[in-house]
Structure 1
Amino acid sequence: MEKSPADEVRTFSLAFEGSREECPFGPDSAVFKAANGKIFAILSEHDDGVHVSLKLTPEEVMEAMSLPFVRTAPYLAKNHWVMPVIAHPGELEMTLAWIRRSHELVTARPARKRQ
């Protein structure tokens, strides 16, 4: 049986050492956090496809936004987050590569200590 795009994203995101899935926004949105506690992907399913919000560099955001299946991520765009909407296999492959990049970006520096 073939995995759905959402299942592919979930499996890929949980494969990073120490990553975990949480549902702070309810059962319809999965938040993936790196071992340092920082969010690197948010997954939700909609009628138009699987939405994945993720972090990129400002330059990567500009490149990604030139593609028709990529939107700004609601509430997170000012922090260089985009939201690919996966409706086709090629979009899934690009999104998985971006998830890897998002994970790299959020784990590049240690988490800030809260006061």
Structure 2
Amino acid sequence: MNVEQIREYCLLKEDAEESLPFGPDTVVFKTDGKIFLLLSLDTEHTQFNVKCDPDKAEELRAAYSCVLPGYHMNKKHWNTIIVDGSVSSGILKEWIDDSYKLVKKKKKR
């Protein structure tokens, strides 16, 4: 996935919004006012930060060399993903979906 594909995928999510609150080099995607993905625009390889269950975050870091502790984030809850071709687009989308679901508020009935 490239930057534009990640952006388009994030914006398909219900109530997803994008902004540049940290300057022109980082696109922030939120739902219900909470960040679910930060996309870097100034790196050699495409990379993004996603929220993750703490136990799963460590498992992913151990299993995939492209998954690092979240850059400039709470490393317990966030991972940085380097899009270097070592994992499929499907897996990247799963990680984005997981992050979105973690921050999406449950609708009251």
Q: Counterpart in 1 of 2:73?
A: 76
CA distance in 2, matches of 1:85, 1:78: 15
Q: Counterpart in 1 of 2:8?
A: 11
Deviation for aligned residue 1:94: 2.0
Query: 1:54-102: CA deviations, max 9, x gaps?
Result: 1010121011111101111123134410001002173543222111000
| Identity over aligned pairs, percent | 29
CA distance in 2, matches of 1:30, 1:82: 16
Q: 2:52 aligns with which of 53, 56, 61?
A: 56
CA contact (8 A) 1:52 1:85 kept: yes
CA distance in 1, matches of 2:20, 2:82: 20
Q: Counterpart in 1 of 2:37?
A: 41
RMSD: 1.8
Q: Which structure 1 segments of 5+ residues have no match? A: 111-115
CA contact (8 A) 2:66 2:86 kept: no
Aligned length, in residue pairs: 105
CA contact (8 A) 1:5 1:92 kept: no
SS of residue matched to 2:5: helix
CA distance in 1, matches of 2:73, 2:93: 19
The TM-score normalised by the length of structure 2 is 0.86
CA distance in 1, matches of 2:104, 2:5: 22
CA contact (8 A) 2:69 2:75 kept: no
CA distance in 1, matches of 2:7, 2:25: 13
- Matched residue type, 1:65: R
Q: Which structure 2 segments of 5+ residues have no match? A: none
